[in-house]
Amino acid sequence: MTAEADHPSLDNLHFDNRFIRELPGDPEPDNFRRQVYNACYSWALPKRVKQPQLVAYSREMAEALDLSPEICESDDFSQIFVGNRLATGMQAYAMCYGGHQFGHWAGQLGDGRAIILGEVINSQGQRLTLQLKGAGLTPYSRSADGLAVLRSSVREFLCSEAMHHLGVPTTRALSLILTGEQVVRDMFYDGNPQIEAGAVVCRVAQSFTRFGNFQLFTARDDIDSLKKLVDYTIRTDFPELGEPSVPVYLSWFAEVCRRTAEMIVHWQRVGFVHGVMNTDNMSILGLTIDYGPYGWLENFDPDWTPNTTDAKGRRYRFGNQAKIAYWNLVQLANALYPLILRAESLQTALLSYTNTFDAGWQAMMAAKLGLNAFEATEDEALVNDLFALMTAAETDMTLFFRQLADIDLATESQCQADFLAMLTNTSYEPLSEELIERASLWLKVYQLRSLRDGRSHAARRDSMNAVNPKYVLRNYLAQMAIDNAEQGDFALVNELLDVLRKPYAEQPGKESFAAKRPDWAKQRAGCSMLSCSS
């Protein structure tokens, strides 16, 4: 019997590996660390590992790939998506890119521990690129090992799927598989290396191209390769814009600006902090990509960042994400300049970021508050006062907006009492007299403003509940799932995956996943602070 006959379905995936077929590749076949010039990718085979063990897979992603549960639970699935076997049609390679890290140009970075297996065309005709993260060394691994540990892989796997179900543009995750091998990590770079379990996540996206892929060519004055990659990206991922030309380059860049703005508005809506918005971690498709030391706001705090590596400058704090995305787009504009040679037109295109973000943010805030539309003259102060109140009271962002929907504003004194009780319950600090007074005043303004819109309580509540999730991947929940998984118990990973499928639904019986952060999690590593070590 042939291998194909043994494993009919995984070998029957339809691959169309266009990226490597149409773009210049690195001629060097061997896998060693180096600078790679004039190429979009290098060959890199995944490392063979001892004992793959499936931790979890995404049902929805499997369905999109036309894979049945039987296939996903088969040994062959684990062997393939840990990197031990290439299915028919797979071609393994790593992408070449550079990037600005923490505001500084870092030169060549590349997929140091990501290996693409190919591009599947599914039965709907969609292009889905499969990528293993943590499957071993590539020419871009620099001084690192090409591996990933279970803790960061659980976080990437769960958050990718959670974000998708929240309606946030994101790369997806098909599977999470233990390698059966050990990896050494010094989690806080403090001279305390530990042995951790190795794992591989299979990520899925239309493409994994980043701002940094374009930047590296321009930095090296390789305009020929830059043009090839831009033309390819437009033809493959933005065909609706037309055949590449200078005007199309401009409308494409404006579209990247627009998509990036929409992504950031979503992050601000759900309280997501990416943590490492370097230009190599910015998707050209406007997808959230590279889940490292990300985190979710618990107590509302615009200055919060989960990333200990960024603790000093707080460049990537919650309240700075919109500015940083713009800064990153300016770097992309600089990278595209040699093809366009019109600085003013690029400036104009950048306006589509600002305009989309401003309009999107206002509409988003109005929706979170259950208002028909954002009326800048009044609502700006309404939002600012609320954020100041929530910051001072250390109010849980997710719980507050969800429970605000339950306050019936048509009642007079009852709604004041309900609101103060709700604010007390959802805050991590007790409310001072002064805060109680500010809260009462805020509610009065909000009540008048909201009643003017004329919505019924039920209509207001339902519309708010559609944009204010009840369930997000709270930092401590992810850590509990990790703690259990490290003991060989994957039930919580799978239960969280399930609950986070319907983040806007009430889900009776699952309320413990929508609880305030417990005290033990306030300062615990992994819950409130994370490093880039993963």
Report if residue 146 touches ligand AMP, rule: CB under 6 A. Answer: yes
280 has catalytic annotation: yes
Tokens of 502: 């319907």
| Neighbouring C-beta atoms of residue 302, cutoff 10 Å | 16
Query: Nearest Cα to 133, choosing from 120, 121, 144, 122?
Result: 144
- Give the shortest CB-56-to-ligand AMP separation in angstroms: 22
DSSP result, 225-277:
HHHHHHHHHHHHH-GGG-S-SHHHHHHHHHHHHHHHHHHHHHHHHHTEE-S--
Assign residue 394 a region (left: φ > 0; alpha: ψ between -120 and 50; beta: otherwise).
left
Report if residue 219 touches ligand AMP, rule: CB under 6 A. Answer: no
Amino acid (one-letter) located at 233: T
Tokens of 155: 């976080």
Q: Output 15 or 37, the one with its CB closest to ligand AMP.
A: 37
Report if residue 532 touches ligand AMP, rule: CB under 6 A. Answer: yes
> Which residue from 112, 180, 302, 338 is in contact with ligand AMP, where contact means CB under 6 A?
112
Comparing every residue's Cβ against ligand AMP, the nearest one is 112
Which residue has 């693409």 as its token pair? 116
Contact residues: Mg ion, CB under 5 A? 281, 290
Q: Output 112 or 338, the one with its CB closest to Mg ion.
A: 112
Euclidean distance between CA atoms 476 and 461, whole angstroms? 28
Residue of 11, 111, 280, 379 marked active site: 280
> Which residue from 11, 26, 111, 222 is in contact with ligand AMP, where contact means CB under 6 A?
111
Query: Nearest Cα to 152, choosing from 182, 169, 176?
Result: 176
From the list 140-148, 302-310, 413-421, 506-514, the region that binds ligand AMP by CB under 6 A is 140-148
110 makes contact, choosing from ligand AMP, Mg ion, none, with CB < 5 to 8 Å by partner type, with ligand AMP
> Which residue from 110, 139, 271, 503 is in contact with ligand AMP, where contact means CB under 6 A?
110
Estimate to the nearest angstrom the gap between the alpha carbon of 421 and the chain centroid. 34
155 with 478: CB under 8 angstroms? Answer: yes
- Residues numbered 264-293 forming contacts with ligand AMP, rule: CB under 6 A: 276, 278, 281, 290, 292
What is the SS3 assignment for 434?
A: helix
From the list 33-41, 144-152, 334-342, 480-488, the region that binds ligand AMP by CB under 6 A is 144-152
106 with 62: CB under 8 angstroms? Answer: no
Query: Nearest Cα to 332, choosing from 242, 259, 236?
Result: 259
Euclidean distance between CA atoms 115 and 137, whole angstroms? 9
- Give the shortest CB-81-to-Mg ion separation in angstroms: 20
119 makes contact, choosing from Mg ion, ligand AMP, none, with CB < 5 to 8 Å by partner type, with none
169 makes contact, choosing from Mg ion, ligand AMP, none, with CB < 5 to 8 Å by partner type, with none
Q: Output 282 or 514, the one with its CB closest to Mg ion.
A: 282
H-helix or E-strand spanning residue 344? helix 343-368
- Give the shortest CB-294-to-Mg ion separation in angstroms: 12
- Give the shortest CB-195-to-ligand AMP separation in angstroms: 15
Residue 308 DSSP class: G
- Give the shortest CB-234-to-ligand AMP separation in angstroms: 25
Q: Output 140 or 253, the one with its CB closest to ligand AMP.
A: 140
Q: Output 445 or 529, the one with its CB closest to ligand AMP.
A: 529
Q: Output 207 or 398, the one with its CB closest to ligand AMP.
A: 207
Report if residue 141 touches ligand AMP, rule: CB under 6 A. Answer: yes
- Give the shortest CB-473-to-ligand AMP separation in angstroms: 19
- Largest Cα–Cα separation, the chain: 78
Q: Output 109 or 397, the one with its CB closest to ligand AMP.
A: 109
Report if residue 308 touches ligand AMP, rule: CB under 6 A. Answer: no
Residues near 455 by Cβ (< 8 Å), separated by ≥ 6? 370, 372, 463
Q: Output 145 or 498, the one with its CB closest to ligand AMP.
A: 145
CA atoms within 13 A on the CB side of 1: 6
Residue 400 DSSP class: H
Axis-axis angle for helices 475-486, 491-499 (nearest 10): 150
Number of residues that bind ligand AMP (CB under 6 A): 17
> Distances in Å between the alpha carbon of 516 and those of 304, 501, 511?
17, 20, 10
Which residue has 């919505």 as its token pair? 455
| Neighbouring C-beta atoms of residue 377, cutoff 10 Å | 6
Site string for ligand AMP, 46-85 (x = CB under 6 A): ----------------------------------------
From the list 82-90, 105-113, 153-161, 232-240, the region that binds ligand AMP by CB under 6 A is 105-113
> Which residue from 109, 135, 200, 496 is in contact with ligand AMP, where contact means CB under 6 A?
109
Binding site for ligand AMP (CB under 6 A): 109-113, 140-141, 144-147, 276, 278, 281, 290, 292, 532
The catalytic site residues sit at 280
